[in-house]
Amino acid sequence: MLFSSLLFIYIFLPALLICYFTVRRNSQRRAVLLLFSLVFYAWGEPVYIILMIGLVFVNYIFGLLINKTESLRERRLLLILAVIVDLCPLFFFKYLSFMTGIINGLFPVEISVPGVALPLGISFFTFQAMSYIFDLYRGTAECQKSFARLLLYISFFPQLVAGPIVRYADIEKQLEDRKMNIEDINEGLFRFTAGLLKKVLIANTCGRAADAILGADLNRTSVFGSWIGILFYAMQIYYDFSGYSDMAIGLGRIFGFRFKENFNYPYISRNVTEFWRRWHISLGSFFRDYVYIPIGGNRRYWARNAFIVWSLTGLWHGASWNFVIWGVYYGILLIAEKALLLRLFARLPGIISAVVSYVYMAAVTLFGWTLFYFSDNIIGGTGRFLGIGVQASEIFSIALLRDNAVILIVAAVFAAPVVPALSCRMKKILPENRYVIASRVAKTAFTAAGIALGTMLLAGSSYNPFLYFRF
Partner 1 sequence: MKMKESRFGRTNKIVNISGFTVIAAAWLLVASLNLFQKDRPEISEAEQRALAGFPEVNISTVVDGSAFRGIDNFVTDTFFMRDFLVKSQQKFSVLYGLDLITGDSGRIAYIPPAATGRQDEAGQIVTPDASGESPGSGGGFPEEAVPTFSEAGQLPETDYLKNGVLIYKNAAYSMADYYEAGARQFVAVAEQYADAFPHTRIIILPAPLSAMLLDGNEFKGALLDQRQSLLEIQAMCEATADSSTAVAETPGDLSAGSSPDTIRPAIGPKVRFVFVFDELWAHRGEYIYFYSDHHWTARGAYYAYRCFAGAAGFQPAGISSMKETIIGEPFVGGLYTFTGDERIKAFRDTLYAYFPVKPHTMKVYDKDWNIMEFGSSILTFGSNYSNFIAGDNPLTVINVPDNPEGLSILVIKDSYGNAMVPFLTEHYNTIYVVDPRHGSIKLREYFKNIPLTDILFLNHLNLNSTTSWVQTLQNLLAE
Reduce the DSSP state of residue 446 to 3 states and report it: helix
Q: How far is the CB of 414 from partner 1 (least distance, A)?
A: 15
Closer to partner 1 by CB, 62 or 466: give it: 466
Contact footprint for partner 1 (CB under 8 A)? 1, 5-7, 10-11, 14, 43-47, 182-183, 185-186, 189, 205, 208, 212, 216-217, 220, 394-396, 399-400, 402-407, 433, 436-437, 440-441, 443-444, 447-448, 451, 453, 455-461
Q: How near is the Cβ of 300 to partner 1 at its closest, in Å?
A: 48
One-letter amino acid of 269: S
Provide CB contacts within 8 A for 317, sequence distance 6+: 323, 326, 327, 372, 471
Distance of closest approach, residue 36 Cβ to partner 1, in angstroms: 15
Smallest separation, CB 217 to partner 1 (Å): 7
Given the complex with partner 1, which of 419 and 441 has the nearer CB atom? Answer: 441
> CA angle, 78 as apex, 82 and 56 as ends, to 5°?
35
CA within 13 Å, CB half, 435: 11
Please identify, using beta-carbon distances, which residue of 14 and 54 lies nearer to partner 1: 14
Q: Which ranges of 139-292 would DSSP assign to H, the alpha helix?
A: 147-155, 157-160, 168-176, 182-197, 204-214, 223-254, 272-278, 281-287
Instruction: Measure the N-to-C terminal CA separation of the chain; round to a whole number of Å.
Output: 16
| Nearest one of 331, 315, 41, 26 to 162, comparing CA atoms | 41
Minimum CB distance to partner 1 smaller for 71 or for 433: 433
322: three-class secondary structure by DSSP: helix
What is the set of active-site residues? 317
State the minimum distance, in angstroms, from the CB of residue 444 to partner 1: 3
Residue closer to partner 1, measured from CB, 189 or 231: 189
* Residue 158 to residue 195: CA distance in whole angstroms: 12
Which ranges of 69-146 does DSSP label H, i.e. alpha helix?
72-90, 96-106, 122-138
Closest CA to 323 of 123, 106, 125, 154: 123
**Core vs surface per residue 38-73: b (16+ CB within 10 A) or e:** bebbebbbeebbebbbebbebbbebbeebeeeeeee
Smallest gap from residue 404 Cβ to partner 1 (A): 5
